[in-house]
Amino acid sequence: MKRFLLIILLCPFIFGFSQSKITSIETVVIEDKSDPRALEILKKVNKNYKENSPKSLESYAYKSYEKISLDIDEDSISQFNRFFDDTNLLKKKRQKDSLNNISAKKIFEKSKLFLWERAQEFLYSKKYGEKINILDNRISGLKQPIYEMIALQQSNRDKVPNQLKQENRGLYRFYLTDSIEMDGRKTFVIRFREVNYKKSNKQRKYNGAIYVDTETYGVKKIENFSKNKNDGIITSTWTFFSNKWFLTQETVKLKMSNMSMQEDNKENPEQKKSKTSFGAYAFLTSRYFDYVSPIDEDKKDFKGYTFTVKNADGKTLDLYRTDPLTERESNTYKTIDSLGKKYNIDRKAQVLSGLLNGAIRVGSLDFALDEIVNYNLYEGFRVGLKAKLNENFNPYFSPDYYFAYGFKDDKWKYGIGLDIKTTLDKNSYFRIEHYDDVTASGEFYRKLWSFKMRTSNYGNNINNDRYYHFRGVSVSYNNDVTNALTVVLNARRNREEARFDYSFRNSGASFENFNTLVTLKYSPNSTNIMTPQGKSLIDQKFPEIYLNYEQSYKMFGGDFDYTRFDMLFLHNFKTRLGTTGFRLYGGIVLGEAPIWKNFTMNGLASPRKDFNFNLTSYLGFATLEGGKYYNDKFVAYYLTHKLPVYFKSFGQNISTFDFVLRGTIGDMKHPEYHDFRFRKLDHLYQEVGLEWNNFLSSYFNLGLFYRVGYYTTPNFKQNFAIQFKLKLLDF
């Protein structure tokens, strides 16, 4: 039962709109190519999409009410009840915790398995952007809301449906089948089916239908049907308001699984037990209403993050329900809430919430995932533990501590800090910390990077042992000025020492350093929500800019007065030719600074091996030797392009290919200041690669890379590298 309840809890996270799901028109001749007339209409739909979108208005507002549930199909409920009336299944004893122990009949006869209601308000202004207010929310089985969950937006409300996307045109075959009238407007009917769709006797001829307004070429309705009858349907419907097409309704029914019940044959016990199956379905109903355009644009209505939770206890949901709850739905809260209390589902839900932000939550403690285990050439395997007291301890004060041990250098490292929040409405806090640790020389600052970006960089130093030790204190202030702009101000006083054979200007390898660091992050399109744990990133969208400005001073015992600046620009966009992503980054050091305050070129390869195999790195080069190249100024790029070509190898996952091009160039003004073996990289270094996404239907990407240009060597093995990447890390 515990596992069963957790599956119910996870249901909304996997309850995405599966867009591969048809009505049957027998008179249409089906060919394995799209109807040119249908393609021409869809081309005009894409062309007019922005003009038909509500966001082409100056401003608007509307509300929504959504209801998600998990239940047995209505046709199966009576059969389910008869089954329990006719069998003594519940009287049998079992040692394991199961449905029997808590009376499956009591739960399923009068209650759904899961229910989630949410009411939202959508505000939009060209001047201030979009604001989404969670007006109220209730999830069966949970007393405390999962904020990352209640902010999920899985509808076609403000995005191009998958079937209409130009890059997905090759996944479907489209057929213009009819012209009808809907709501007094003439409408084209375009049926579609998947390219790899093989119709059997139990399957439909099509996967769905698109209804297109003949005057504006706006989408009126999209229907997605399951391949197998009775397995599900997804419908999105739009309404014409203020000369734009607003989403007005969405309904979903998807078969999740079959529940099988086993019954003894009383007349002949030796025969096999008979099984009765009941289909478990996920249902969603969304209604959008109270459209207003234009609206009074008040800046205070748009302040803060994209999402604001007004209420989350469900007490005001009656104000927004478009239909009253059925008796079965009303019973769900009482029944599932009691189960949630019995099995402490709230605590498990908070653990899940913490995982989304890179932490394991246990009561008042959050344990950071990225401190548990790592590997680099200097420390070898590094294991550690970082614990932070969360809002259950105190909403304003949050102490933390970490310790780590490197098996190769045989040294302990530690750090202790305290966050002091100035408000609970946004991320705004002071931080004091003391630390004694090591890190790689010349690394690009990763402050304010998302958990996914940091995870992508874990393999950055597998073949780099040029580390330095730092011990000191820092005081910082972190403030989210707006939803898009974050600023961090930091002052640090450190003692720093190289952990390799090194001397800077014949003055040794150990120095005192007092510096300030200003970090900016600008992400205008990403969406965030404030939670009791702090700001949570809901959807990382591009472009993004990260800036770091470091200034050292010959005061408070400091030995340097250098200036260090670096920048990272990220962008990702789609066209009819595929999806293109690029990272442009670089940095410069002005003044005299030790090598660890210059820039390493992020090599991942090892010169001591004949075969280069490494894990992906956010800014790394698969074929470049680690710890070999340093510059005091450089620029670099990472360009990737996913072709709109899809194929299957094994299993169900669809694979694609990415073409990758990486390059960097820079210089060092005074390499003689640094006494150790290294080279400056003052010519263009480039490598090209091909990534196979979902390699052999797995959740890994396999990349093959080859060094080209000035630094190519006669040795093929030195020029070639194989790289693995978790698919979840994406771009």
The position carrying tokens 């206890």 is 313
3-state SS, residue 101: helix
Average pLDDT (698-703) is: 89
Average pLDDT (388-415) is: 96
d(CA 654, CA 641): 17
Give residue 74's pLDDT band: very low, low, confident or very high (50, 70, 90). Answer: low
The predicted structure's pLDDT at residue 201: 43
Q: 300 burial class (0-12, 13-18, 19+ CB within 10 angstroms)?
A: exposed
The predicted structure's pLDDT at residue 346: 72
pLDDT at 298 over 70: yes
Q: Which of 100-109, 245-254, 677-686 has the lowest mean pLDDT?
A: 100-109
Give residue 343's pLDDT band: very low, low, confident or very high (50, 70, 90). Answer: confident
- 375 vs 102, higher pLDDT: 375
Give residue 569's pLDDT band: very low, low, confident or very high (50, 70, 90). Answer: very high
Q: What's the pTM? A: 0.84
The mean pLDDT value of the chain amounts to: 86
The half-sphere exposure of 73 on its side-chain side, counting CA atoms within 13 A, is 19
Residues paired with residue 566 on neighbouring β-strands, in sequence order: 548, 587
Average pLDDT (583-590) is: 98
- 143 vs 512, higher pLDDT: 512
What is the per-residue DSSP string for 296-340? ---GGGG-SSSEEES--SSTTGGGT-SSPPPHHHHHHHHHHHHHH
Q: Which of 37-46, 422-431, 528-537, 641-650 has the lowest mean pLDDT?
A: 641-650
Average pLDDT (552-565) is: 97
Please name which of 324, 291, 339 lies closest in space to residue 106, comparing C-alpha atoms: 339
Please name which of 522, 538, 143, 118 lies closest in space to residue 321, comparing C-alpha atoms: 118
3-state SS, residue 180: strand
Average pLDDT (564-579) is: 92
d(CA 694, CA 701): 5
pLDDT at 98 over 90: no
Alpha helix segments (H runs only) across 623-729: 716-719
- 74 vs 307, higher pLDDT: 307
Alpha helix segments (H runs only) across 376-507: 451-456
d(CA 349, CA 351): 5
What is the per-residue DSSP string for 523-574? -TT-EEEEETTEEEEEE--S-EEEEEEEEEES-TT-----EEEEEEEEEEEE
The position carrying tokens 């060094």 is 707
Strands 720-726 and 612-615: parallel
The position carrying tokens 């089954």 is 83
Percent of the chain scored above 90 by pLDDT? 62
Give residue 464's pLDDT band: very low, low, confident or very high (50, 70, 90). Answer: very high
Residues paired with residue 257 on neighbouring β-strands, in sequence order: 280
Average pLDDT (465-479) is: 98
Q: 346 burial class (0-12, 13-18, 19+ CB within 10 angstroms)?
A: middle
The position carrying tokens 């189960």 is 339
The predicted structure's pLDDT at residue 75: 56
- In the DSSP assignment, the letter for residue 273 is P
The predicted structure's pLDDT at residue 226: 76
If you average pLDDT over each of 129-143, 195-209, 509-523, 616-630, which comes out highest?
509-523
